[in-house]
């Protein structure tokens, strides 16, 4: 990724509270613009991440988007 330097990452994944959270923090710390596709992230408890988790992502600087926002 560094060689191609995309600058923007679209995040999806499992374990919203752990893996996805760490990926978002690391990406933002490394200067990437981060979009989290809310329908494509799952909580370790099952289902979508709750508002508190999404707010945490926002506090890091990520933007929360819907799959419908993708072109």
Any idea where the domains of the chain sit in the sequence?
8-69
pLDDT score recorded for residue 2 = 52
d(CA 34, CA 27): 7
Among the residue ranges 3-7, 8-12, 19-23, the one predicted with the least confidence is: 3-7
d(CA 71, CA 48): 22
d(CA 28, CA 45): 25
- Please report which helix (H) or strand (E) contains residue 34, including its range: strand 33-41
Give domain 8-69's CATH number out of 3.20.20.370, 3.20.20.140, 3.40.50.850, 3.90.780.10: 3.40.50.850
The percentage of residues in the chain with a pLDDT greater than 90, rounded to a whole number, is 82
Which residue, 61, 56, 64, is CA-closest to 12?
64
pLDDT score recorded for residue 5 = 65
């Amino acid at each position: 990724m560094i060689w191609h330097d995309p600058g923007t990452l679209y995040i999806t994944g499992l374990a919203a509270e752990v893996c996805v959270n760490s990926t978002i923090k690391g990406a933002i710390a490394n200067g990437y613009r981060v979009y989290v596709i809310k329908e494509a992230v799952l909580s370790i408890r099952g289902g979508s991440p709750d508002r508190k988790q999404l707010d945490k992502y926002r506090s890091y600087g990520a933007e929360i988007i819907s799959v419908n926002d993708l072109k």
